[in-house]
Amino acid sequence: MVCRRLLTCVVLGVWSSLMVPAVAAPPADAADSLRILVEASADRLALARQVALSKWDSGAAVEDGGREAVVIMSAVSQGEGQGLERIWVAGVFRAQIEANKLVQYGLLADWNRGGAAPDHAPVDLVRDVRPQLDVAQKAMMAALPGVASLRTRKSCRAEVAAAVGDYLYRRQLPAGTLDAIALDRALAGVCGG
């Protein structure tokens, strides 16, 4: 739901905060790591627009199983070096990829319905976008060890949802938008699903 009036947003915000059960705050280091992970994930998702523009121009498919496998295996390898479980790291990055594809599909569908993509300079996926994706991946990998303990908590989903909600609030991004939904999807892997 998108709030169109400030009073409605405030009332809905207060009402929804009353409906959410209280979640014990994680230790400061886990909370900081989760905040960093959410921000890095959002930075990674912000690049989906550039990826979609590149694919619009080239006619390439959104699905790229080979590239997805490379990204996941790279993350798994880095995670092993940090003592992280392979399956968990793979799930975290699979969720990242699925969220990125969600944004790409949404944008491409909008542009197809409109008959054109927005005016843009050519986007070189390999030269321009992948180095930025690598930076986001490094930030995520740095945060994952501090977040690993969350996945065993019953409150994991609530803590991740609260961290995403905090990010959206700080950035003044409304819930229910493609970007917000994609960010929720991107972080679904933290709790194993």
pLDDT of 15 over the 80 cut = no
What is the reported pLDDT for 190? 96
Q: What is the mean pLDDT of the chain?
A: 86
Helical spans, DSSP H, in the chain: 6-19, 28-46, 48-58, 65-81, 86-114, 130-147, 156-170, 178-186
Q: How far apart are the C-alpha atoms of 21 and 54, rounded to whole Å? A: 43
Q: What confidence category does residue 193 fall into, taking pLDDT thresholds of 50, 70 and 90?
A: low
Question: In CATH, which superfamily holds the domain spanning 39-191?
Answer: Chorismate mutase (1.20.59.10)
Q: How far apart are the C-alpha atoms of 70 and 67, rounded to whole Å? A: 5
Taking each helix axis from N to C end, the angle separating 130-147 and 86-114, rounded to the nearest 10 degrees, works out to 140
Could you report the per-residue pLDDT of 23-82, keeping only the tens digit for each? 444 445 788 999 999 999 999 999 999 999 999 999 999 999 999 999 999 999 999 999
Exposed, middle or buried: residue 96 (CB in 10 Å: 0-12, 13-18, 19+)?
A: buried
What is the reported pLDDT for 93? 97
CA 159-95-119 angle, to 5 degrees, is: 110
What is the reported pLDDT for 116? 95
What is the reported pLDDT for 30? 84
What is the reported pLDDT for 24? 42
Cα dihedral across residues 27, 30, 36, 37: positive or negative: negative
pLDDT of 9 over the 70 cut = no
Q: How far does CA 99 lie from the centroid of its chain?
A: 6
Residues whose CB falls within 8 Å of the CB of residue 127, separated by 6 or more in sequence, listed in order: none
3-state secondary structure of 150: helix
pLDDT of 13 over the 60 cut = no
pLDDT of 3 over the 60 cut = no
Could you report the per-residue pLDDT of 151-168, keeping only the tens digit for each? 889 999 999 999 999 999
pLDDT of 7 over the 90 cut = no
Q: What confidence category does residue 127 fall into, taking pLDDT thresholds of 50, 70 and 90?
A: very high
CA dist 111 to 9, 119, 124, Å? 30, 11, 19
What is the reported pLDDT for 8? 35
Q: How far apart are the C-alpha atoms of 137 and 139, rounded to whole Å? A: 5
Q: Which of 130 and 3 is assigned the larger pLDDT?
A: 130
Q: How far does CA 137 lie from the centroid of its chain?
A: 11
